[in-house]
Amino acid sequence: MRDAPLGSPLLLEPLLIERPWGDQRLARILGKPLPPSARIGESWETANEARVAAGPLAGLTVRELVERFGPELLGERGLAASQPFGDFPLLVKFIDADDVLSVQVHPDDEQARPFGQRGKTEAWHILAAEPGAELVVGLREPLPPARIRQLLAEGRLAAALERLAVHPGDTVFCPAGTLHAIGAGILLYEIQEQSDITYRFYDWDRVDAEGRRRPLHVEEGLAVLRPANRAQRLEPRAIDAWRELLVVCRYFRLERWAVRGRHELPLQPALTFHVVTCIAGSAELRADATRPVPLALGRTALVPATVTTLHVTGAATLLVASIPDWPDVSGL
């Protein structure tokens, strides 16, 4: 068998991010090797600084892959999505929330452009949720900025927030400009634009050990907030006997694959990469005439746009992200 540099899936080594609200669910549920005492809140699977874990390109960062292989790695749609930043356009994460996160809002592309970044539209797929776990998905009703400032000053914003109870298997779409927060007791997969602009709007009046509150960005948040926006739970749509479409928007397409045995999937050549993440079981990925790449629970592989047929073998549930064709999302 032959192994051209971009001829087969690339197993990735993510960035692990400590957060004060993190825990060890990434180890307990997804089998990720974590420092035993660390509160790991996020695993950035396709960060620009994530690295290839094995094979002839081992050690290269995702950004270096894009710089070296550009169109071959990303495909026509992916290359367009990477501009004008010249990086990998999608960020796949795992998030472990042992405590409720701050209430946040993100700008859209136009609002983020002056800061040299993309906006941040995102979607979540719930992997584990304790009884009663919920997301903040917007305001109960649209409110003008003056009323929001008043509620914040009086410590009463929490009562104005809309909440959504979630369960494993739910998918929730959150467009830029939506006030939102991930609640306690949730482990989820997140797909988003490759961006890290976050305006912390409200932090539940928490203080640290010295009695200090975390900085807030209320005025910046109000400038990008769309008060009528709500994050929405979406129903999956069957593609065929083993694949479902979970969400599609102008930035990303997310599918769920139920792998049982052997599957052969033709891919449209040179259009888009695919990011394949194992959330249950294990699988092997193989392109024609290459060695299989093992994909264990909690691991992510990047399938370059040069791969025209993907062979998937195993007993697993996979989440697969790619760049959609614009007609796919007309009317959304």
| Helix, strand, coil in percent for the chain, rounding step 5 | 15, 40, 45
Say if residues 273 and 73 touch (Cβ distance below 8 Å).
Answer: yes
User: Which residues are registered as beta bridge partners of 180?
Assistant: 104
Catalytic residue among 19, 39, 163, 200: 200
Residue with tokens 């609200």: 21
Beta strand 199-202 with 103-105 is antiparallel
Closest CA to 96 of 200, 20, 1: 20
d(CA 96, CA 28): 11
Told to judge if 206 belongs to the known catalytic residues of this protein, a careful annotator would answer no
* Residue (of 186, 190, 181) closest to 247 by Cα position: 190
CA atoms within 13 A of residue 212's CA, in its CB half-sphere: 4
Name the residues annotated as catalytic.
200
